[in-house]
């Protein structure tokens, strides 16, 4: 296993002031995003949209890596440069989502298990050859009256660990993503407990599978109130609960924690990350790997028109700059207006 390369790539992914752009929407998900702006999800439209993000002047100041979908990793910019080469030339690490999605877990109503392990070793080799240097696998944990079950947490933790071990074997840094969903009316306290238990199981399995913790990155949810909970915890409480939860369950040898935005607005996802970093030093870098929160303003500004590309790039750069400032705890409301 090329240990030094794994460690240096993982550290580059969580470099100070920068974070990760999750642009790895699967075909059904990107269709949903395009439907919201009345744009048809054709291969060319998907290529143009991703191309405008990757070509945004200066975005690499705030973005250390990009997670792509299989199709995108094989696509090219307008001048014919393959996307992984374009990103690498800007000092941005190209990555790839390798799971095949969360499917219903047989026998466990309303719970999911992520598929995609069969044949993964061969796919990883090809992704490395195409220029990817990191991978991502998302597991989904749902909170409900009687769920999550311990069985569902264990099954997903096991799959995450197998994915992580295979990725490192192939020289790719795994982003391990156990997402406790914000859907539901649960309190922030319940989210904290479920997130803590989930992370404990995930790290038990990662160690059992002999995964090098220094050569991986964790991508979790923040600890927040359920979307439909009557009492919504504020930014300060979210930051305190999230940091407390991770101190209890994430080894200090993990170089960085890159949060997903999970349906939080762009502004709230920025404020929450900022509050955590404003608390002072932590054992790991606290960073971002946002999909919706980094893209929603750019997507709306673009609206599928090439005449809007500059406007969309400006919106994307602005959000990346705000979240980049949140990496230092230096984001302010005034930056929103700028």
Contacts to ligand 13P by CB under 6 A: 22, 24, 138, 177, 260-262, 290-293
Nearest residue to ligand 13P by CB is 291
Q: In angstroms, what CA-CA distances link 37 with 32, 33, 291?
A: 9, 7, 16
In the complex with ligand 13P, the residue whose CB is nearer, 122 or 228, is 228
Tokens (6 digits) for 143:
């909170």
**Residue carrying structure tokens 């920025």:** 270
In the complex with ligand 13P, the residue whose CB is nearer, 292 or 327, is 292
In the complex with ligand 13P, the residue whose CB is nearer, 28 or 80, is 28
Q: DSSP letter for 81, please.
A: -
Q: How many CB atoms lie within 10 A of CB 113?
A: 18
Q: Which of 274, 228, 236, 282 is nearest to 257 (CA)?
A: 282
User: Least distance to ligand 13P from the beta carbon of 180, Å?
Assistant: 12
Q: Is 169 a catalytic residue?
A: no
User: Least distance to ligand 13P from the beta carbon of 293, Å?
Assistant: 6
| Catalytic member of 111, 179, 219, 296 | 219
Residues 6+ apart with CB under 8 A from 332: 325
User: Least distance to ligand 13P from the beta carbon of 178, Å?
Assistant: 11
User: Least distance to ligand 13P from the beta carbon of 306, Å?
Assistant: 25
Q: Is 219 a catalytic residue?
A: yes
Q: Which of 150, 156, 205 is nearest to 178 (CA)?
A: 156
Whether 270 and 235 have beta carbons less than 8 Å apart is answered as no
In the complex with ligand 13P, the residue whose CB is nearer, 323 or 325, is 323
Q: How far apart are CA 147 and CA 125, in angstroms?
A: 37
| Catalytic member of 177, 192, 196, 296 | 177
> Active-site residue numbers?
177, 219
């Amino acid at each position: 296993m090329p240990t030094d390369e794994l460690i240096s790539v993982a550290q580059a992914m969580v470099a100070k002031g920068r974070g990760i752009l999750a642009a790895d929407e699967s075909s059904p998900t990107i269709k949903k995003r395009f439907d919201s702006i009345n744009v048809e999800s054709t291969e060319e439209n998907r290529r143009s949209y991703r191309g405008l993000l990757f070509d945004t002047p200066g975005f690499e100041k705030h973005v250390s890596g990009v997670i792509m979908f299989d199709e995108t990793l094989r696509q090219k910019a307008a001048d014919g440069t393959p996307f992984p080469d374009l990103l690498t030339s800007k000092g941005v690490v190209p990555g790839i989502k390798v799971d095949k999605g969360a499917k219903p877990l047989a026998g466990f109503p309303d719970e999911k298990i992520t598929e995609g392990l069969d044949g993964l070793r061969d796919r990883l080799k090809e992704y490395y050859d195409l220029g990817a240097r990191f991978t991502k696998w998302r597991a989904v944990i749902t909170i409900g009256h009687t769920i999550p079950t311990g069985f569902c947490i264990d099954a997903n933790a096991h799959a995450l660990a197998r994915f992580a071990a295979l990725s490192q074997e192939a020289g790719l840094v795994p982003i391990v993503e156990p997402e406790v969903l914000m859907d539901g009316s649960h309190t922030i306290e319940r989210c904290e407990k479920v997130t803590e238990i989930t992370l404990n199981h995930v790290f038990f399995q990662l160690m059992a599978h002999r995964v090098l913790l220094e050569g991986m990155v964790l991508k979790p949810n923040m600890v927040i109130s359920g979307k439909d909970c009557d009492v919504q915890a504020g930014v300060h409480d979210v930051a305190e609960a999230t940091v407390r939860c991770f101190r209890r369950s994430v080894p200090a040898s993990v170089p960085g924690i890159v949060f997903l935005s999970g349906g939080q607005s762009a502004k709230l996802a920025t404020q929450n990350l900022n509050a955590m970093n404003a608390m002072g030093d932590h054992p790991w870098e606290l960073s971002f790997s946002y999909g919706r929160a980094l893209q929603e303003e750019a997507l709306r500004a673009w609206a599928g028109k090439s005449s809007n590309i500059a406007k969309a790039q400006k919106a994307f750069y602005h959000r990346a700059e705000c979240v980049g400032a949140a990496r230092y705890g230096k984001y302010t409301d005034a930056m929103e207006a700028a």
